[in-house]
Amino acid sequence: MDRVDRCYLKPGGQLTEEGRSRWEAVPEELKLDFYRWMVQVRSFDRRSVILQRQGRIGTYAPLEGQEAAQVGSALALSKEDWIFPSYREHGVAMIAGMPLMRILLYWMGRVEGNVPPEGVRVLPPYVPIATQLPQAMGAAWASKLKRERSVSVAYFGDGATSEGDFHEALNFAGVFQLPVIFFCQNNHYAISVPFSRQSAVPTVAERACAYNIRGIRVDGNDVLAVHSAMEEAVTRARKGDGATLIEAVTYRKGSHTTADDATRYRDPSEVEDWVREKDPISRMEALLKAEGLLSEEDVKKWEEQCKALVDRAVKEAEAAPAPSADHLFAHVFEELPPELNRQRAELSGEGGECV
């Protein structure tokens, strides 16, 4: 692991000294939640990869290995906060209240998968890299102008830091002291391109100083450290102290998407190291067991519950009635102009003059 500003829970499951005091301060329910959510996220993720192989969903972006970064950060947010995710934040979305079934619908190519239930402030996955950053900044700006306490969070990867949008968003955030958090999961690769080809400085976090915002680099596989960094950033933002750039150093165990083959560009020994040595779940499991908060039986039970949850979501998603083609037109404008009405009629086979 490269040097980080914060690591509480070592890969073997031991707490550092700082980590110990943080741990003591965390309510027991949250300790268990860290673990339970990570397992649920992984359970969902592994299942999705299989669903793709079976041709039951389209190209899918797996997150295995990044559970701590997503769970730790998402658990520090509240309902009023806005989340602007990339395409890999299924873990974040779940925690924010996005039903698993809708996440699956998204990967089935269905627009319903973009729409969270009432009151859940998660935007659809941002596929064009880094475009969510200016928008999260703008949403945060609105909160500030309206004197509301919500913060906005943009999730993105290490590759996104090369885009102009990254710069413009962080720059506005610094200039206007906005309550926004830029949460980067540095998983070392943008598809095949290693971070060393993305940036001439070794860390994402140090870029914060170009914008006079706070930057912090945290062990992204340490859910406790991630959570504490995020909590600090949220507090800062709510207090009016402005933006934070968090770099969570992590690794995707698998390929970029199910359409990618990571063995083409990653060294097996590097992968091995991350997969075997630095897994985010096993270290938390070890800690909880050592602390007597978790038994092997709890583990089994929870894993089964997760499997059941995911099973149900898959069933629901697959049972969802085929989308009506009318979805194409339903929300293009609040009111359809005549030409579009004609096209709609054409589609539905009710004629329509325009072919």
Partner 1 sequence: MSEKTLIQGINEGLRTALKERSDVVVLGEDVGKNGGVFRATEGLWEEFGDERVIDTPLAEAGIVGAAIGMAINGMRPVAEIQFMGFIYPAFEQIVTHAARLRTRTQGQHPASLVVRAPYGGGIRAPELHSDSTEALFVHTPGLKVVAPSTPSDAKGLLLSAIRDPDPVIYLEPMKIYRAFRQEVPEGWFEVPIGKARKVREGEDVTLIAWGTMVPVAERAAREASERGVSCEVLDLRSLCPLDEEAIVTSVKKTGRAVIIHEAPKNAGLGAELAARIHELAFLWMESPVKRVTGFDVPVPMFALEDDFRPSQKRIDRAIHKVMTF
Ligand X SMILES: Cc1ncc(C[n+]2csc(CCOP(=O)(O)OP(=O)(O)O)c2C)c(N)n1
Report the interface residues with Mg ion, using CB under 5 A: 157-158, 187, 190
19, 91, 116, 174: which one binds a copy of itself (CB under 8 A): 174
167 sits near a copy of itself (criterion: CB under 8 A) = yes
198 sits near a copy of itself (criterion: CB under 8 A) = yes
3-state DSSP assignment of residue 328:
helix
166 sits near a copy of itself (criterion: CB under 8 A) = yes
How many Å separate Cα 179 from the centre of its chain? 19
Could you give the CA distance from residue 41 to residue 131 in angstroms, rounded to a whole number? 25
17, 24, 200, 349: which one binds a copy of itself (CB under 8 A): 200
127, 209, 259, 308: which one binds ligand X (CB under 6 A): 127
Residue 307: C-alpha distances to residues 44, 74, 109, 290, 313 (Å): 8, 22, 23, 25, 10
Which residues have C-beta within 8 Å of that of residue 172, sequence separation ≥ 6? 134, 137, 141, 178
222 sits near ligand X (criterion: CB under 6 A) = no
Enumerate the active-site residues. 252, 256, 265
Per-residue string for binding with ligand X, 131-170, x by CB under 6 A? -------------------------xxxxx----------
Residue 183: its H or E element: strand 180-186
**C-beta closer to a copy of itself: residue 245 or 281:** 245
Could you give the CA distance from residue 104 to residue 310 in angstroms, rounded to a whole number? 10
3-state DSSP assignment of residue 53:
helix
Residue (of 89, 45, 96, 103) closest to 75 by Cα position: 96
187 sits near ligand X (criterion: CB under 6 A) = yes
**C-beta closer to ligand X: residue 15 or 153:** 153
Per-residue string for binding with ligand X, 237-256, x by CB under 6 A? -------------------x
Based on C-alpha coordinates, what's the Rg of the chain? 21
In the list partner 1, a copy of itself, ligand X, none, the entry touching 253 (Cβ below 5 to 8 angstroms by class) is none
Q: What residues line the site for ligand X (CB under 6 A)?
A: 88, 127-129, 156-160, 187, 189-191, 256
